[in-house]
Amino acid sequence: MLEHPRSAALYAGAENSLLGGVPMNWMKKWSGAFPVFVKSAKGAHFTCVDGHEYVDLCLGDTGAMTGHSPDVVVEAVAKRLREGITLMLPTEDALYVGEDLKKRFGLPYWQFTLTATDANRFSIRIAREVTQRPKILVFHYCYHGTVDESFAGLHDGVVGPRRGNIGPPVDPSETTRVVEFNDLNALEDALMHHDVACILAEPAMTNVGIILPDGGYWKAARELARRYGSLLIADETHTICAGPGGCTAEWGLQPDMVVFGKAIGSGIPAAAYGCTEEVAQRISARIHLEDCDVGGIGGTLAGNALSMTAMRATLERVLTSKNFEKMIALAVRFNEGVSSTIKQQELPWNVQRLGCRAEYTFCAMPPRNGRASAAAADFELERFLHLYALNRGVLMTPFHNMALMCPDTTEQDIGRHTTIFGEALDELKQAWA
């Protein structure tokens, strides 16, 4: 409060007109009595309304993995803003974006939405339509945006609504099969029912810590999906951190569909989903021109001129191989700092990394599935560490211990985190002693 009087006053004022005092309900969940209000952000830093400067390791939970407001995107978008924002007609940028995504992910055909949630929802619809099957399969503790079917969890092995699921339209057991990640037997048991239209998966789980696939897992899972006639949708919205073509390119996955949102437009609302030639043909066979605007796939602003420009500039100039090399090296450095601090303090914690994304978990060994990772979470401890860092000028991603690097992050920024993390653990150890 003493250090953030303006944020405190704005929050108090916001309570008069915003539900919970925030524009989006989860902004309430930041640790501290109120969220810090932002004045401006650029690259890897932002300044709050009280004039404090922060290293941003949250980067809009991947929406700003490009760094805040990259100049090249701002310039292209500013020009587009003056020349027409949305028309329901294509612009030339769409061709560049389609060709670029084709090269990155190896899938020939692409469509656009404003959010990764929508890209997932439309991919699921397509999978249901072309397979004529009712269910989807997701992994326990997955997150794919506010997709109704994915808000399912396992309770003593039985599928039900995930904790906190607000007003589920139907019991998710009607729409969804859920299995643990890295369990091929469970996956095969679920697919054997021949009612799964698609597996919707992050190639590595990133929303309940970072959970990497076991060696050979995706090769076997890919084969199982083919054997039982289910499509494989790789949601690369977060795992794009692995490289310019996400895990799909890095690990040679062969998904039937790919979803890529958030960072694709440097934060300008935009997302994409792509499919194979085979899926494209199956879609064409079932969707007729007269009905294509009322089938539940689309959006008035989807594919608008502004988001196409933002995607083009981002793909062409920001999410480049050169920038990824730099960002990944920084994440390696972040992990070395966290890992050596954990060792020094002899704590049974670990730190994982996927490309330019890093995350520490409060257990000795990296978890192999959602259940194990969720069991290691400690809400109060996490809030303490986040608030400790925030009060000293470093913003971590809320609701987990994730740090993301952008092309503008510096070694000094990482060093600042390592120092603060060390001081926090010193204080914790003293309090625990």
Ligand X SMILES: Cc1ncc(COP(=O)(O)O)c(C=O)c1O
Min dist. Cβ of residue 342 to ligand X (A): 25
384 sits in which H/E element: helix 379-390
Nearer to ligand X, 97 or 147 (CB): 147
Nearer to ligand X, 124 or 425 (CB): 124
Nearer to ligand X, 34 or 112 (CB): 112
Torsion, Cα of 83, 88, 89, 93 (10° steps): 60
Nearer to ligand X, 84 or 169 (CB): 169
In 3D space, the residue among 186, 103, 96, 175 whose CA is nearest the CA of residue 139 turns out to be 186
Min dist. Cβ of residue 203 to ligand X (A): 10
Contact between residue 358 and residue 352 where contact means Cβ atoms under 8 Å apart: yes
Q: Is 233 helix (H, G, I), strand (E, B) or coil?
A: strand
DSSP 8-state secondary structure symbol assigned to residue 162: P
Min dist. Cβ of residue 398 to ligand X (A): 12
Min dist. Cβ of residue 262 to ligand X (A): 5
Residue number closest to ligand X, CB atom: 145
DSSP 354-366: ETTEEEEESSSS-
Token reading at 303: 């594919």
Q: Is 320 exposed, middle or buried (0-12, 13-18, 19+ CB in 10 A)?
A: middle
Token reading at 93: 């940028």
Min dist. Cβ of residue 348 to ligand X (A): 27
Min dist. Cβ of residue 43 to ligand X (A): 21
Footprint on this chain of ligand X (rule: CB under 6 A): 61, 115-117, 120, 143-145, 202, 207, 235, 237-238, 261-262
Min dist. Cβ of residue 402 to ligand X (A): 11
In 3D space, the residue among 184, 257, 253, 182 whose CA is nearest the CA of residue 219 turns out to be 253
Distances (CA, A) of 423 to 193, 413, 431: 53, 16, 12
Nearer to ligand X, 135 or 144 (CB): 144
Tell me which residue has tokens 């390791």. Answer: 57
> Of all residues in the chain, what percent are helix, strand and coil, respectively (each to 5)?
45, 15, 40
Nearer to ligand X, 179 or 201 (CB): 201
Nearer to ligand X, 117 or 314 (CB): 117
